[in-house]
C-alpha cells in the first residue's frame, strides 16, 4: 500500500467517523467538533492526492484548496460557536430541540 | 476600447457596499441603496453585452483557466443574476420600512454579502470556486436567520448552519475526487475529460447529496421550514426565493455539463423525490396553522417541481424547470413579504385569526393572491408557463406519469392558498389592536407579485435569453432524440 493511499484512506476514515459523531451526539459542541473532524478528513484526502506523482514535485493546487478550505472552516466554526452561546443563553441548553418549538 | 468588466463589478460592488455599511453604520441605508441600484445597473450592462456578443468568459487577473479563476456568463447565469437583482431590489425597498435602526445596521452588511456571494456563485466557472461561494452564501444566510433573535430563530439558525457545513464538506470531497481523477476543477475542461468510472460515481453521489441537502429536496427538507419561518420577513423572502435556488443552480450545471453520461437511473430517482416533495410539501402546507410555516412548506413543494426535469433530461424540460424557478422566486418573495405585512399588522400569523385582513390591508392581500396565482400555476402567470413546459416535456418523452404530481401539486397549492384567502375575508372572534404597515412594504410585495404574473405574459423574452451560449445543449431535435435513447 502506497503512502498516498494510506493517507487518503485515513482521511476517508476521519470523514466517516466525524459523520457518525455528528449524527449520534446531541450536544452542539460535540456536533461542531465532529464537523471539524470531517473537515480534517477531507483536507487530508486533498493533500494526499496532491502527492500522487511519486518522486516529482507535488501538485500545489490541492494545497491551495486546503488553505482556502481551512479559512472557510475556521470562520464557520467561529460562527457556530458564537451561535451555540446564544442558543444556550436563549434556551438554557446547548442542544437542538427534537421538535421545532411553537 | 477595453470592455467594462461587469462580471467583476457584480461581485465587488455589493462586497464593497457590505464593508462600507459595516464601517459606517450611520450611513447604512445610503450605502445599501446605492449598492442595490448599482448591482441592478451592472446586471443590465452584462445582459446587454451577452445579447450582443453571446456567452462570455472572463479570466480574473488575466491568468486563465488551469491556473487562474475564470468567470463565465451565459443565458442561465444571466437569468439567475436578473432574478437575484429583481428580488434583491424588492427586498431592499421592503426592508427600509421593516427594520428599525438597530436591526438595519446588522441587516444591510449581511444582505449585501449574501448578494455578492450569490452573484459570484452564478458567475463561477469552476467547481472549487463554487464551493467557496456556497460557503460564503451559507454563512451570510445563517447570520441573517439568527438576526430575528429569540429561541426559535437561534435554534433554527444553528440547525441550518450544521446542515450547511455538512453539505459543503460532502461537496468538497466530491470536488477532491474529480480533481484527482481529471486534473482540473474547471467545468468546461471537466466536461471534456469526464468518463464514467467508480470515482465519478462517488463524486457525483457526494456532490449531489450535499447540494440536495442544501436545496432541501424531500426527504432532506427538515431544516427548511423552521429556518424560513422564523427568520425576519425580508430574510425569509431571500432564503426561499434565492438561497435554495443557488445550490439547485450548481446541481443543474453539474448535471448539464459534467454528469450527462451517467445514465438515466439517478435522474429517475431525483424525479421520484421531486414528486414526493410536491405531494408531501403540499399536504404539510395544508395542515399548518401559522401563515409563515404554510409558505415555508409551500417552498418545499415548489422545489420538488424543479427536480421533475431531471428524469426527462430534454432541453425543453430544463427550460420549463428554470422558468418555474424564476417565477417561484418572484412569487414566493412576494408571498413572504405579504406574510410579513400581515404579521406586523395583526401582531401574529395564525391563519384562523386573520380577521378581515383583506378589507383592512387590501394591497397586501392582492399581492398575496396574485403571487398565489403563480404558485398554483394558473394562467397567465409565470408558474403556468413553467408547469406547462414540464407537462409537455413529460408527454413528449413518453413519461406521462410525471403529469400526476404536476396536477395534484397544483390542486394542493390551490387548497392552501384559498384557505388563507378565505380566512382573510372572515371576521375573527376576538378583535385585537393592529399596527400600521408602511406603504413601501405593501407596494414592494405587490410589485414582485405582479412581476411573477408578468413573467407569464412575456414568456418569449426569458426563453430567448435562455438560448445565449446554449446552456441546455444543442437544438431542440437533439434533445428529444437524447431523451428517447435514454
Q: What does the H/E/C string look like for chain B?
A: CCCCCHHHHHHHHHHHHHHHHHHCHHHHHHHHHHHHHHHHHHHHHHHHHHHHHCCEEEEHHHCCCCCCCEEEECHHHHHHHHHHHHHHHHHHHHHHHHCCHHHHHHHHHHHHHHHHHHHHHHHECEHHHHHHHHHHHHHHHHHHHHCCCHHHHHHHHHHHHHHHHHHHHHHHHHHHHHHHHHCCCEHHHHHHHCCCCHHHHHHHHHHHHHHHHHHCCCCCCCCHHHHHHHCCHHHHHHHHHHHHHHHHHHHHHHHHHHCHHHCCHHHHHHHHHHHHHHHHHHHHHHHCCEHHHHHHHHHHHHHHHHCCHHHHCCHHHHHHHHHHHHHHHHHHHHHHHHHHHHHHHHCCCEHHHCCCHHHHCHHHHHHHHHHHHHHHCCCCCHHHHHHHHHHHHHHHCCCHHHHHHHHHHHHHHHHHHHHHHHHHHCCCCCCCCCCCCCHHHHHHHHHHHHHHHHHHHCCHHHHHHCCCCCCCCCCHHHHHHHHHHC
Residue A95, SS3 per DSSP: strand
| Contact yes or no for B158 and A90 at CB 8 A | no
- pLDDT at A75 exceeding the cut of 90: yes
Instruction: Please report the pLDDT score of residue B169 as a whole number.
Output: 95
pTM beyond 0.90: the answer is yes
- pLDDT at B485 exceeding the cut of 70: no
| Contact yes or no for A83 and B157 at CB 8 A | yes
Instruction: Please report the pLDDT score of residue B113 as a whole number.
Output: 96
Minimal-distance CA residue of chain A relative to B227: A100
Per CB distance under 8 Å, which residues of A are interface residues toward B?
A: 15, 19, 22, 28, 31-32, 35, 38-39, 42, 45-46, 49, 52, 61-62, 65, 68-69, 72, 75-76, 79-80, 83-84, 86-87, 90-91, 96-97, 100-101
First-to-last CA distance in chain A? Answer: 55
Instruction: Please report the pLDDT score of residue B479 as a whole number.
Output: 44
Class of domain A3-91: mainly alpha
Output the average pLDDT for chain B.
89
- pLDDT at B480 exceeding the cut of 50: no
Instruction: Please report the pLDDT score of residue B61 as a whole number.
Output: 79
Confidence of residue B483 (pLDDT cuts 50, 70, 90): very low
Number of domains in chain B: 1
Of B130, B18, B89, B133, the residue nearest B440 (C-alpha): B89
Instruction: Please report the pLDDT score of residue B452 as a whole number.
Output: 93
pLDDT digits (tens, 9 = 90+) for B206-225: 999 999 999 999 889 999 99
Answer yes or no: is B387 within a domain.
yes
Among partner residues A52, A72, A79, which is closest to B180 by beta-carbon distance? A52
Among partner residues B168, B169, B180, which is closest to A49 by beta-carbon distance? B180
Output the average pLDDT for chain A.
87
Residues 174-213 of B with CB under 8 A from A: 175-176, 179-180, 185
Query: Average pLDDT in the B272-290 region?
Result: 94
Portion of chain B with pLDDT greater than 90, in percent: 66
Answer yes or no: is B420 within a domain.
yes
Instruction: Please report the pLDDT score of residue A42 as a whole number.
Output: 95
Residues spanned by the domain of B358: 263-467
Answer yes or no: is B363 within a domain.
yes
Confidence of residue A62 (pLDDT cuts 50, 70, 90): confident
Confidence of residue B455 (pLDDT cuts 50, 70, 90): very high
Among partner residues A19, A65, A79, which is closest to B161 by beta-carbon distance? A79
Tell me which chain B residues have a C-beta less than 8 angstroms from the C-beta of A28: 158
Amino acid at each position: 500500500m502506497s503512502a498516498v493511499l494510506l493517507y487518503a484512506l485515513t482521511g476517508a476514515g476521519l470523514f466517516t467517523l466525524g459523520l457518525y459523531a455528528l449524527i449520534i451526539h446531541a450536544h452542539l459542541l460535540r456536533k461542531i467538533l465532529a464537523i471539524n473532524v470531517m473537515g480534517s478528513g477531507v483536507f487530508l484526502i486533498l493533500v494526499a492526492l496532491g502527492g500522487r506523482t511519486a518522486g516529482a514535485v507535488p501538485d500545489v493546487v490541492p494545497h491551495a484548496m486546503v488553505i482556502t478550505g481551512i479559512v472557510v472552516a475556521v470562520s464557520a466554526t467561529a460562527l457556530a460557536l458564537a451561535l451555540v452561546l446564544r442558543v444556550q443563553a436563549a434556551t438554557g441548553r446547548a442542544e437542538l430541540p427534537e421538535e421545532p418549538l411553537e | 476600447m477595453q470592455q467594462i468588466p461587469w462580471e467583476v463589478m457584480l461581485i465587488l460592488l455589493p462586497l464593497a457596499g457590505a464593508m462600507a455599511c459595516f464601517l459606517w453604520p450611520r450611513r447604512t441605508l445610503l450605502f445599501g441603496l446605492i449598492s442595490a441600484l448599482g448591482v441592478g445597473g451592472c446586471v443590465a450592462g452584462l445582459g446587454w453585452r451577452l445579447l450582443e456578443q453571446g456567452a462570455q468568459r472572463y479570466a480574473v487577473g488575466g491568468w486563465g483557466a488551469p491556473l487562474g479563476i475564470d468567470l463565465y456568463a451565459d443565458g442561465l447565469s444571466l437569468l439567475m443574476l436578473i432574478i437575484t437583482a429583481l428580488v434583491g431590489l424588492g427586498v431592499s425597498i421592503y426592508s427600509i420600512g421593516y427594520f428599525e435602526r438597530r436591526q438595519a445596521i446588522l441587516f444591510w452588511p449581511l444582505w449585501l454579502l449574501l448578494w455578492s456571494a450569490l452573484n459570484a456563485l452564478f458567475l463561477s466557472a469552476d467547481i472549487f470556486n463554487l464551493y467557496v461561494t456556497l460557503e460564503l452564501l451559507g454563512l451570510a444566510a445563517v447570520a441573517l436567520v439568527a438576526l430575528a433573535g429569540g429561541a426559535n430563530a437561534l435554534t433554527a439558525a444553528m440547525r441550518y448552519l450544521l446542515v450547511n457545513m455538512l453539505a459543503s464538506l460532502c461537496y468538497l470531497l466530491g470536488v477532491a475526487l474529480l480533481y484527482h481523477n481529471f486534473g482540473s476543477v474547471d467545468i468546461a475542461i471537466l466536461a471534456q475529460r469526464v468518463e464514467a468510472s467508480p470515482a465519478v460515481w462517488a463524486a457525483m453521489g457526494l456532490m449531489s447529496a450535499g447540494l440536495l441537502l442544501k436545496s432541501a429536496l424531500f426527504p432532506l427538507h427538515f431544516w427548511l421550514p423552521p429556518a424560513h419561518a422564523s427568520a425576519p420577513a425580508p430574510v425569509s423572502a431571500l432564503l426561499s426565493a434565492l438561497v435554495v435556488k443557488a445550490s439547485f443552480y450548481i446541481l443543474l450545471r453539474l448535471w448539464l455539463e459534467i454528469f450527462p453520461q451517467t445514465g438515466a437511473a439517478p435522474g429517475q430517482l431525483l424525479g421520484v423525490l421531486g414528486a414526493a416533495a410536491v405531494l408531501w410539501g403540499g399536504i404539510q402546507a395544508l395542515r399548518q396553522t401559522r401563515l409563515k410555516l404554510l409558505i415555508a412548506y409551500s417552498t418545499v413543494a415548489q422545489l420538488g417541481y424543479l427536480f421533475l426535469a431531471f428524469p426527462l433530461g430534454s432541453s425543453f424540460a430544463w427550460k420549463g424547470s428554470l422558468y418555474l424557478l424564476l417565477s417561484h422566486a418572484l412569487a414566493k418573495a412576494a408571498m413572504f413579504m405579504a406574510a410579513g405585512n400581515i404579521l406586523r399588522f395583526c401582531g401574529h400569523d395564525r391563519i384562523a385569526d386573520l380577521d378581515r385582513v383583506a378589507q383592512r390591508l387590501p394591497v397586501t392581500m392582492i399581492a398575496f393572491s396574485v403571487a398565489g396565482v403563480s404558485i398554483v400555476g394558473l394562467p397567465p402567470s409565470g408558474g403556468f408557463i413553467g408547469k406547462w413546459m414540464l407537462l409537455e416535456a413529460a408527454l413528449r418523452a413518453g413519461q406521462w406519469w410525471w403529469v400526476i404530481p404536476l396536477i395534484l401539486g397544483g390542486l394542493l397549492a390551490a387548497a392552501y392558498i384559498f384557505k388563507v384567502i378565505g380566512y382573510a375575508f372572515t371576521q375573527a372572534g376576538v378583535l385585537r389592536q393592529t399596527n400600521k404597515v408602511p406603504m413601501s412594504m405593501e407596494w414592494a410585495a405587490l410589485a414582485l407579485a405582479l412581476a411573477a404574473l408578468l413573467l407569464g405574459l412575456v414568456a418569449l423574452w426569458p426563453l430567448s435569453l435562455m438560448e445565449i451560449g446554449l446552456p441546455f445543449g444543442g437544438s431542440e431535435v437533439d434533445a428529444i432524440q437524447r431523451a428517447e435513447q435514454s
